[in-house]
Structure 1
Amino acid sequence: MADSSSYLVCNTCGTQHPTPDRATLTTCFICDDPRQYTPPAGQSFTTLSALRAAGDRRNDFRPFPGEDDGAAAANPRFTTIVTTPQFAIGQRAVLIRTPRGNVLWDCVTYLDDETAQRLDALGGIQAMVISHPHFYSAHLEWAERFGCKVYLAAEDKRWLARRSEEKQVFLEEIETRIEVAGEDTGVRVVKLGGHFPGSLVLLYEGRLFTADTLIMTPAGRSNWSVDALGNPRERPKGVNTFSFLWSIPNMIPLSADEILRMWKILRNYDFRAAHGLFPGWDIEDEKIKARVLESMQIQIRAMGHGEHPLLKESL
């Protein structure tokens, strides 16, 4: 059996395929799906061993800002992990440190000894949760290195390039409590669907980790607190915070009914902050749940559904 570091990795989406044979793998089935894309230069592959040998990449660890002490204070419970220079989609993973063990939310493809050693120093990884197939990346490399399980939506099994009966756990329920050695970590995984049938979000200590199940918009991350002269102001009416898309890169929206179905699940949970798929896509706001509903209603009106039932929803 070939060393998995020689398995082909898609340069566009970062998915690791279980073969080193370039003659038999000429396209990536993830990128052939209408929710993804192939770049103008066409399909291409690399390997983890080639990425490591090049020596020009590393994984940066960036603590979340502190909640009360300003941007300079680190919050040790949450750490962004992102590959630089960017590889493939460029998403971040987030290490969530709980009293019962560390949970990794989403995954990046690149894994080297330095990354593993830094994570070992933080207590390792006791469980992984991947939001959807575009971020499956090289999750089995990570799971095997840290000896942990990976939680994935059962609905999205068909998008797995690599499979492991030992490491992969498929979630059937709407909500799953993540446990480590039989003890509840406090992490909740909620299946909203939309982008993919099994698209997941994660909740921990009042924080909603959205990946791209909910896409944080530039307006959502804007600072509307003051005007150009420093005078206090309020957020403008009708400005969204999130978009709800079936295909993010190809900008194909979800249907109004699917957005309503997602809301009927999410409305049962409380949260005061949201964290998206890229570094810096973070919003701390006690009213963030209301902003999710407002964004859904803005999108549905813009799609021409002036009488849709979601427009009658309120908190």
Structure 2
Amino acid sequence: MDFALEPYNAADSSSWLICHTCGTQFPTADRSVVKTCHVCDDPRQYVPPSGQSFTTMAELRDSDHRNEFKPYEHDERIISIHTCPKFAIGQRAMLIRTPQGNVVWDCISYIDAETIDKVKELGGIKAIVVSHPHFYSSHIQWARAFQCPVYISSEDLHWTTTPSAHRKALTETETEIIPGVKAIKLGGHFPGSSVLLFDGRLFIADTLMTTAAGLGKWDIDALGAKREKPPGLTSFSFLWSIPNFIPLSADVIHRMWGILKNYDFRATHSIFEGIDIEDEEVKAKVLESMKFQTRAMGFTAHPLLNETL
């Protein structure tokens, strides 16, 4: 390790405040110090009608929260980890198992002894990579528990809450985390919003947002007959704010494509359990979706519309 390892102290951190809405952990138990969540106060996020509220890791443990591990049906090297009952945004972390070690993509707030034991049984964690600030959650507790670095984009460092030597800044557009696993900064949703590429699988968080149409089964009709997917249906959306439905500009989408077009992938894995696309043509669907959104926003002559694979 090229940094000083820090101890994981579950007892001390169990009383630290965690935002109910986004799951961000703050390194204090003093509710007079942390009255609002700066992540939820940002226009990309929200505070619910019930108002700002906080919990703690201890309270989550006492309310029978647990983490469930689910192997991906198409690739046993990938395991989803999500908290039940649902907490905060409800995203999943994804454990990617490789011969060079395991990488966790994105992070969830909840961690306990059972989770730590299960991950260690699966080979531990070599590194954690977090796509953007909405999933920063308790990433330092995870990094300390598994004595590994956690990578986040340099552009988004100011959103973090807990100082730590375990945190490593991603300063380049592409960073090889371990052999065969690359973090790629596309920007858009946040300046440093990232995706992760492993063996033709693109882990997209909500840097690219998978649409309902993208998951639809269009190849067979109600009577079982084969058919083609109707034209003009998007598979992805590109949003500055997901909960507030604010789209990215055509120029930003074009810049994202300028980076992503250099990589090949045959599958995408989104933020939530079950939102995965297995399709050799999925890269073409990304570009098709980018063009659709660009036209829908009124840009009928934008340079993005001339892009090809």
TM-score (norm 2): 0.96
Q: Which runs of 5+ in 1 are unaligned?
A: 67-74
Deviation at residue 113 of structure 1 after TM alignment: 1.0
**Which of 23, 37, 44 is the matching residue for 1:35?**
44
1:190 aligns with 2:199: no
Alpha-carbon distance between aligned partners in 2 of 1:237 and 1:107, rounded to the nearest angstrom: 36
**Which of 6, 11, 18 is the matching residue for 2:27?**
18
Alpha-carbon distance between aligned partners in 1 of 2:140 and 2:106, rounded to the nearest angstrom: 12
In the alignment, what sits opposite 1:224? 218
Aligned-partner SS, 1:29: coil
Aligned-partner SS, 1:219: helix
Alpha-carbon displacement from aligned partner over 1:73-117 (angstroms, at most 9, x marks no partner) = xx3200000101100000000000010000000011000111111
Deviation at residue 50 of structure 1 after TM alignment: 1.3
In the alignment, what sits opposite 1:207? 201
Aligned-partner SS, 2:40: helix
Alpha-carbon distance between aligned partners in 1 of 2:177 and 2:230, rounded to the nearest angstrom: 39
Alpha-carbon distance between aligned partners in 1 of 2:289 and 2:14, rounded to the nearest angstrom: 42
The aligned length equals 300
Aligned-partner SS, 2:14: helix
Runs of 4+ in 1 over 3 A off after TM superposition: none
In the alignment, what sits opposite 2:6? none
Alpha-carbon distance between aligned partners in 2 of 1:5 and 1:143, rounded to the nearest angstrom: 15
In the alignment, what sits opposite 1:96? 96
In the alignment, what sits opposite 2:3? none
Alpha-carbon distance between aligned partners in 2 of 1:237 and 1:276, rounded to the nearest angstrom: 23
Equivalences for residues 31-180 of structure 1 within 5 A: 31-54=40-63, 56-66=64-74, 75-164=75-164, 166-179=165-178
**Which of 235, 240, 250 is the matching residue for 1:256?**
250
One-letter amino acid of the counterpart of residue 61, structure 1: F
Deviation at residue 24 of structure 1 after TM alignment: 1.5
Alpha-carbon distance between aligned partners in 2 of 1:76 and 1:274, rounded to the nearest angstrom: 15
1:237 aligns with 2:237: no
One-letter amino acid of the counterpart of residue 80, structure 2: T
1:310 aligns with 2:266: no
In the alignment, what sits opposite 2:12? 3
Alpha-carbon distance between aligned partners in 2 of 1:63 and 1:6, rounded to the nearest angstrom: 31
- CA-atom RMSD in angstroms: 1.0
Alpha-carbon distance between aligned partners in 2 of 1:161 and 1:226, rounded to the nearest angstrom: 49
Deviation at residue 40 of structure 1 after TM alignment: 0.1
TM-score (norm 1): 0.94
Alpha-carbon displacement from aligned partner over 1:263-300 (angstroms, at most 9, x marks no partner) = 00000000000000000110000000000000000000
In the alignment, what sits opposite 2:272? 278
Alpha-carbon distance between aligned partners in 2 of 1:83 and 1:291, rounded to the nearest angstrom: 31
One-letter amino acid of the counterpart of residue 99, structure 1: P
Alpha-carbon displacement from aligned partner over 1:242-261 (angstroms, at most 9, x marks no partner) = 00000000000000000000
In the alignment, what sits opposite 1:71? none
One-letter amino acid of the counterpart of residue 20, structure 2: N
Deviation at residue 225 of structure 1 after TM alignment: 1.2
Alpha-carbon displacement from aligned partner over 1:188-209 (angstroms, at most 9, x marks no partner) = 1100000000000000000000
Aligned-partner SS, 1:3: helix
Identity %: 61
Alpha-carbon distance between aligned partners in 2 of 1:35 and 1:99, rounded to the nearest angstrom: 38
Alpha-carbon displacement from aligned partner over 1:167-225 (angstroms, at most 9, x marks no partner) = 0000110000013xxxx2x1011000000000000000000000000000000000011
In the alignment, what sits opposite 1:247? 241
Deviation at residue 133 of structure 1 after TM alignment: 0.1
One-letter amino acid of the counterpart of residue 87, structure 1: F
